């Protein structure tokens, strides 16, 4: 099926690695003009800049003006914005509710929730004026399934899920569809980087290291029915469909992609 994405203009936030990098690559391979926003330019992102014409916007999306600058870059480069993927998010294994200060909570709100709010505030009027657009927010299984190790993260992701529906209610009648993808467990630096969730699960399960934990102990411990983590590329098909006009009847929904980890419908 031709998703008819060729020539569309997109912003992907948090695009230097992990899921955002894969989404950027998939969109660019489908002919979309993409601005990829992140603080750093990894070798993999540099390859997309060189090979597929992706534009890198270096920006801290946890800062007040960051998201607006990233949206403006899409307009400056391509003359408008059709697709906004609010992918940026951050979490590290925590020590439970009592370990979290106000600063920790504020940081979680800034990066997991307000970054998307601010990007939407800049992009939605442009999309409405142009007759439509598609917004995809990357939430999490933790939006629905809280866990003491990620209390602040889960709460801010749940807010993003709620925001997705509210925005759809207000703007889908004016052509702007808004959806969310809730990944379960995806093999990205969030899991594989030193001090990430892989190391913590390795500690808890006596695994050799993070990669051993992700391969073996974690899928069972986390109840992932298919028996393994997702690769970032496995989120792209759904994201492309939501971004495309082929998904014209899809709005106001959150789609779980969790290999069966959630035990409710």
Ligand X SMILES: NC(=O)c1ccc[n+]([C@@H]2O[C@H](COP(=O)([O-])OP(=O)(O)OC[C@H]3O[C@@H](n4cnc5c(N)ncnc54)[C@H](OP(=O)(O)O)[C@@H]3O)[C@@H](O)[C@H]2O)c1
* Choice from 15, 210, 213, 243 touching ligand X (CB under 6 A): 15
- Cα distance between residue 76 and residue 28, in whole Å: 18
Size of the site for ligand X (CB under 6 A): 29
Confirm or reject binding of residue 188 to ligand X (CB under 6 A): yes
Strands 176-183 and 254-257, bridge-based pairing:
parallel
Restricted to residues 45-64, the positions that interact with ligand X (CB under 6 A) are 59-62
Of residues 78, 153, 163, 171, which has the active-site annotation?
153
Q: State yes or no: residue 163 binds ligand X (CB under 6 A).
A: no
Contact call for residue 190 and ligand X (CB under 6 A) = yes
Residue 16 makes contact with ligand X by CB under 6 A: yes
- What's the number of CA atoms in the CB half-sphere (13 Å) around residue 44? 12
Told to judge if 153 belongs to the known catalytic residues of this protein, a careful annotator would answer yes
* Collapsed DSSP state (helix, strand, coil) of residue 32: coil
Binder of ligand X out of 19, 74, 126, 149 (CB under 6 A): 19
103 binds ligand X (CB under 6 A): no
Query: Is 18:186 a contact under the CB 8 Å cutoff?
Result: yes
Rounded CA-CA distance 116/119 in Å is 5
Q: Taking contact as CB under 6 A, which single stretch among the options 34-42, 72-80, 125-133, 243-251 is the one that binds ligand X?
A: 34-42
Nearer to ligand X, 17 or 177 (CB): 17
Distance, in Å, from the CA atom of 181 to the CA atom of 161, rounded to the nearest integer, reads 9
Exposure string of 40-53, with b = 16+ CB inside 10 Å and e = fewer, is eebeebeebbeebe
Binding site for ligand X (CB under 6 A): 14-20, 38-40, 59-62, 87-91, 111, 138, 140, 183, 185-186, 188-191
């Amino acid at each position: 099926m031709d998703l008819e994405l060729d020539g569309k203009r997109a912003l992907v936030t948090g695009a230097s690695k992990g899921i955002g990098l894969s989404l950027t690559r998939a969109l660019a391979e489908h002919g979309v003009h993409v601005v990829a926003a992140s603080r750093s330019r990894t070798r993999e992102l540099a390859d997309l800049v060189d090979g597929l014409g992706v534009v890198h916007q270096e920006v801290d999306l946890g800062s007040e003006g960051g998201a607006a600058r990233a949206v403006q870059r899409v307009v400056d480069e391509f003359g408008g914005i059709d697709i906004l993927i609010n992918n940026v998010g951050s979490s590290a294994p925590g020590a439970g509710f009592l370990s979290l200060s106000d600063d920790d909570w504020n940081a979680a709100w800034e990066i997991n929730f307000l970054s998307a709010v601010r990007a939407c505030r800049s992009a939605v009027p442009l999309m409405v004026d142009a007759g439509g657009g598609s917004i995809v927010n990357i939430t999490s299984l933790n939006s629905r399934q809280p866990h003491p190790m990620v209390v602040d993260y889960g709460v801010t992701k749940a807010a993003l899920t709620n925001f997705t529906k509210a925005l759809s209610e207000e703007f889908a009648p004016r052509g702007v569809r808004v959806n969310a993808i809730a990944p379960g467990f995806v093999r990205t630096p969030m899991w594989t980087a030193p001090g990430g969730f892989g190391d913590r699960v390795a500690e808890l399960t006596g695994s050799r290291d993070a990669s051993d934990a992700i391969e073996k102990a974690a899928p069972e411990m986390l109840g992932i029915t298919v028996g393994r983590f997702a690769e970032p590329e496995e989120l792209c098909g759904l994201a492309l469909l939501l971004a495309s006009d082929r998904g014209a009847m899809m709005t106001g929904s959150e789609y779980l992609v969790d290999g069966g980890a959630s035990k409710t419908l």
